[in-house]
């Protein structure tokens, strides 16, 4: 079976509002026409917007499946994010407007950033870190996390950021996988009013991390210098950030980096299995994120930009650190949860700082829907002009809700498809040009070449198939850390003898207008009576029902049909589970997309199992539906959710 049958139809379309279009950075099809231009020329033009200390000799060297971009060129990522803004009018422009969960606030201008990054770089040097060493960063969403990343970049150390919500075991595995020399952590961070004891977790992890020589500890908790309740300092190994800072010089000469020198390693979210250490390099990555930030978010000098992602994920790296700072943006950074102390915290922040560009994930949007609009309506969101979504397919009804209640029908929505591996946004609307359709990531960014293929590698015009990227791009991963064979095998062996075709693992459909609709991971695609249906389609039909906030759909083995459809559904505020609602939902799906897609089982659940980055983990739901032992659960946000679902499912059977 090669194609994915496409059943769900969505015909709504939203052209860019005319007042948005006239002032947009890209407001006619010119840049999009560049998409037909040679990617090498396009990316060379974009790369030339960065600050290089030595220009490159060759733009691209492509020995499939290994690419090298901008060979011979030299640059430093921290110089591009900070130093190049301090000589002109941006010197005292706010770079980061930070708000902690308890309500504390700090603002850093580009000049402040310059000073902090230089000091942090010298602290790392003092601890013996040299170019090429790996440094683990396990911090809450505080300004020091950004300084730490840029400090590594400044001295040529490779950072690996581990999400602050991860356990000691996860931290340990990542540190050991790439052999980090130094760990940067904090005494604690705040999450839903609780203190996350990062240093204690780190100590636990470090019992078994032989490569770590030093630990740099930021004091996040404001209970006074020297308070060791949450951070027991180990003499010789552990150092307080604020103390070491006073002992180092104020200026740190940036290391000259080759374009292909490593910038960072980041482990994937682990939605489909054991996380992979994705390797990104300096020149290509910076080119990809700087260019996409500018065009996809239509970023202007006066914007207040807010990406709600944690720096522990690729979205935080590309669209909270490197992309916006390379563009000299002013951005909001928030430490904590969206529902603390109340469910309107995000809208309060948007109002307080006059946020104009807001970038979040479908999981958050579905939570806002579940909580209801009164939390939104309390706040003045009139400064918002552009909204973005990333992380999972966005169901059309969630898109419509976002458009109506957050965007107030005024703001274009950019649904951006990309991955840890791609480094930067790949498929996305350009907000001043593209007419958007709810649920479609629309078309590839200029310089990105994609195809829809069947398993034999034949092109699919209209309909469903496997997404492929057919030309290398600057911000692509270079390898998996320590396992190049796995790199080749995971991404470049889907089509026999075609080492030049990158397979992201996702299925998609193309409609009559040439728009792409991501249908989710190919491993998740359902096979019902010989029809291959995207889980996304059935989920979207469920979310279309007014009672449903969120749905996850999986296939389970069925003697006759091949697979039967099991749906896990969480309801919006004000609705309660019942047998009649179950029947109604099954009929709703049948009505929206056909009897074929009618779910066999529906289980109501307050929560769905998600990764810590907020993505639904269908493989665990499949384990439940098929009565298997649960697979790897280490990247789950809340393991109790899946255990409870398993019990509930078995009781119903
Ligand atoms: P792992 O690779 O470890 O299983 P992961 O794939 O969830 O984890 P990420 O790199 O964080 O790790 O996520 C990339 C994936 O997220 C994409 O392959 C795609 O499935 C999904 N995704 C991201 N953005 C979108 C989007 N706008 N529309 C649809 N799907 C998206
Ligand atoms: Mg992935």
pLDDT of residue 258: 98
Residue 548 labeled ligand binder = yes
Overall average pLDDT of the 228-232 stretch: 78
95-123, pLDDT tens digit by residue?
999 999 999 999 999 999 999 999 999 99
Judged by its nearest atom, the ligand closest to the C-alpha of residue 419 is: 1
275 lines ligand 1 (CB under 6 A): yes
Taking CA atoms, 638 is separated from 256, 539, 616, in Å, by: 43, 22, 12
pLDDT band (50, 70, 90) for residue 552: very high
Q: If you measure from the C-alpha of residue 520 to the centroid of ligand 1, how many angstroms do you get, rounded to a whole number?
A: 8
- What is the residue with the minimal CA distance to atom 27 of ligand 1? 417
Strand partners, 555: 565
Burial 614-628 (b: 16+ CB within 10 A, else e): bbbbbbbbbbbbeee
- What is the residue with the minimal CA distance to atom 28 of ligand 1? 393
Q: If you measure from the C-alpha of residue 539 to the centroid of ligand 1, how many angstroms do you get, rounded to a whole number?
A: 17
**In angstroms, how far is the first alpha carbon of the chain from the final one?**
31
What tokens were used for 325?
A: 């700072």
Decide: 16 and 431 in contact? Cβ < 8 Å: yes
Model ipTM?
A: 0.99
Query: Poorest-confidence range of 304-308, 340-344, 524-528?
Result: 524-528
155-213, pLDDT tens digit by residue?
999 999 999 999 999 999 999 999 999 999 999 999 999 999 999 999 999 999 999 99
Check residue 395 and report its DSSP letter. P
Overall average pLDDT of the 419-433 stretch: 97
Coil vs helix vs strand at 320: helix
Dist CA 109 CA 111 (whole Å):
5
pLDDT of residue 287: 98
Decide: 264 and 178 in contact? Cβ < 8 Å: no
Overall average pLDDT of the 406-433 stretch: 98
pLDDT band (50, 70, 90) for residue 227: low
Dist CA 184 CA 155 (whole Å):
15
Dist CA 415 CA 297 (whole Å):
11
pLDDT of residue 1: 47
Q: If you measure from the C-alpha of residue 272 to the centroid of ligand 2, how many angstroms do you get, rounded to a whole number?
A: 7
The distance from CA 634 to its chain's CA centroid, rounded to whole angstroms, is: 19
pLDDT of residue 114: 98
Decide: 332 and 339 in contact? Cβ < 8 Å: no
pLDDT of residue 14: 98
Query: Poorest-confidence range of 12-21, 124-133, 628-637?
Result: 628-637
What tokens were used for 72?
A: 């011979």
Dist CA 179 CA 170 (whole Å):
14
Coil vs helix vs strand at 74: strand
């Amino acid at each position: 079976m090669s194609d994915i049958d496409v059943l769900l139809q969505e015909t709504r379309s939203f052209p860019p509002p005319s007042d948005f279009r006239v002032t947009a950075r890209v407001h006619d099809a010119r840049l999009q026409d560049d998409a037909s231009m040679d990617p090498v020329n396009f990316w060379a033009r974009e790369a030339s917007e960065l600050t290089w200390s030595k220009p490159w000799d060759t733009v691209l060297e492509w020995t499939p499946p290994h690419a090298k971009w901008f060979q011979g060129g030299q640059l430093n990522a921290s110089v591009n994010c900070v130093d190049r803004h301090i000589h002109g009018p941006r010197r005292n422009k706010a770079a980061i407007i930070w708000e902690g969960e308890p309500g504390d606030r700090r603002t850093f201008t580009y000049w402040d950033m310059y000073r902090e990054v230089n000091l942090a770089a010298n602290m790392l040097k003092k601890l013996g870190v040299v170019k090429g060493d790996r440094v683990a960063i396990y911090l809450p969403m505080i300004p020091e996390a950004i300084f730490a990343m840029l400090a590594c970049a400044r001295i040529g150390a490779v950072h690996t950021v581990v999400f602050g919500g991860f356990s000691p075991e996860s931290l340990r595995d990542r540190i050991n996988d790439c052999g980090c020399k130094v760990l940067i952590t904090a005494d604690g961070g705040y999450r839903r009013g609780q203190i996350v004891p990062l240093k204690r977790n780190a100590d636990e992890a470090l019992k078994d991390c032989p490569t770590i020589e030093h630990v740099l500890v930021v004091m996040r908790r404001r209970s006074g210098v020297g308070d060791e309740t949450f951070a027991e300092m180990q003499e010789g190994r552990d150092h307080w950030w604020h103390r070491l800072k006073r002992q180092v010089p104020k200026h740190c000469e940036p290391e000259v980096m080759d374009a292909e020198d490593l910038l960072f390693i980041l482990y994937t979210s682990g939605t489909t299995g054991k996380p992979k250490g994705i390797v990104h390099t300096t020149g290509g990555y910076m080119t990809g994120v700087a260019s996409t930030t500018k065009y996809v978010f239509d970023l202007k000098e006066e914007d207040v930009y807010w990406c709600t992602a944690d720096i522990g994920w690729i979205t935080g790296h590309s669209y909270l650190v490197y992309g916006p700072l390379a563009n000299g943006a002013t951005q909001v950074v928030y430490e904590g949860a969206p529902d603390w102390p109340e469910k309107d915290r995000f809208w309060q922040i948007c109002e307080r700082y006059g946020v104009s560009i807001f970038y979040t994930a479908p999981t958050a949007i579905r939570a806002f829907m579940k909580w209801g609009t009164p939390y939104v309506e309390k706040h003045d969101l009139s400064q918002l002009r552009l909204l973005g979504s990333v992380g999972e397919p966005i169901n059309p009804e969630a898109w419509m809700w976002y458009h109506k209640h957050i965007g107030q029908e005024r703001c274009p929505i950019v649904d951006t498809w990309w991955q840890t591996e791609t480094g930067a946004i790949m498929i996305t609307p350009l907000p001043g040009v593209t007419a958007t359709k709810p649920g479609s990531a629309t078309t590839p960014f200029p310089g990105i070449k994609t195809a829809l293929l069947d398993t034999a590698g034949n092109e699919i015009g209209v309909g469903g198939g496997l997404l492929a990227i057919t030309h290398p791009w600057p911000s692509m991963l270079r390898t998996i850390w320590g396992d190049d064979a796995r790199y080749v095998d995971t991404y470049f062996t889907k089509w026999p003898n075609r080492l030049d075709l990158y397979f992201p693992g996702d299925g998609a459909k193309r409609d009559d207008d040439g728009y792409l609709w991501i249908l989710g991971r190919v491993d998740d695609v359902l096979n019902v009576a010989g029809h291959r249906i995207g889980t996304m389609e059935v989920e979207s039909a469920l979310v279309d029902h007014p009672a449903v906030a969120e749905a996850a759909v999986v296939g389970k083995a069925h003697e006759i049909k091949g697979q039967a459809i099991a749906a896990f559904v969480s309801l919006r505020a004000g609705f309660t589970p019942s047998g009649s609602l179950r029947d109604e939902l099954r009929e709703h799906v049948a009505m929206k997309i056909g009897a074929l897609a009618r779910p066999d089982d529906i289980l109501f659940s307050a929560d769905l199992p998600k990764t810590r980055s907020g993505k639904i983990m269908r493989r665990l739901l499949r384990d439940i539906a098929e009565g298997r032992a649960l697979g790897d659960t280490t990247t789950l946000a809340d393991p109790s959710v899946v255990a409870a679902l398993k019990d509930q499912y078995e009781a119903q059977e």
